[in-house]
Amino acid sequence: MLTVIPELLDADAVRRLRDLIDAAQWVDGNVTSGHQSALAKRNLQLPEDCAEAKQAGQIVLDGLGRSPLFIAAALPLKIFPPLFNSYAGGQAFGTHVDNAVRIQAGTGFRVRSDLSITVFLEEPDRYDGGELTVETNFGVQQVKLPAGHAVLYPSSSLHRVEPVTRGRRVASFFWLQSIVRDDAARQMLFDLDSSVQALAGELGHDDAQVIRLTGVYHNLLRRWADA
């Protein structure tokens, strides 16, 4: 599933993050590419071990921790430290699939990439192009969101970043391993959870049917969870 997470970062968080990364030294984006990605990727990136990337990444992680929508949609088990990239002057990232396993450089930390995340860090009217284009079971979807908004999508999907022909597209991107490996199962759990929360808002959390459905949710999660 493809899920938009509005206002993952507020305006102040975006400003603090951009102050950090705009002052940093950017390098060729292929420093983290696999073989297939390197053939299609033209952008700049912050080195993942630089101090500015680590500080900015913590701002993003703090935002994730405060987002009930992210938790419900992703059911995160492990999150790869956020990375940052930039596209300008016709740069793009051609159609590709993310690597199945991501390993943090210089550490033993690794995640199975079930879900990919892009957090937009530049207002959409400040650049042309740069849409995140994701090929889904329901057709091709293009995403270009306000600064601070994020989108979550399966890492297994074919996707690309369209050429940026004016201005500069800046974003954070990274991957996570979910408690629930299967995307269809995760979608069903998310839909069920959303319905239970809506019913609880109308009937109260102590309503017998809300309690029953909550039990169904947790029993399905217990059946499917890898944790």
159 annotated ligand binder? yes
In the three-class reduction of DSSP (H, G, I as helix; E, B as strand; rest coil), residue 202 is classed as helix
Query: Was 96 annotated as part of a binding site?
Result: yes
Please give the span between the terminal C-alpha atoms of the chain, in angstroms, as a whole number: 21
Q: Distance between CA atoms of 141 and 133, rounded to whole angstroms? A: 6
102 is in an annotated binding site: no
205 assigned to a ligand binding site: no
Nearest to 85 by CA among 122, 55, 123: 122
Best CA proximity match to 182, nearest among 81, 123, 114, 116:
114
**Cα–Cα distance measured from residue 110 to residue 212, given in angstroms and rounded to the nearest whole number:** 37
- Which CA distances in Å does 205 have to 38, 202, 215? 50, 9, 12
Annotated binding site for 2-oxoglutarate: 169
Annotated binding site for Fe cation: 96, 98, 159
Annotated binding site: 96, 98, 159, 169
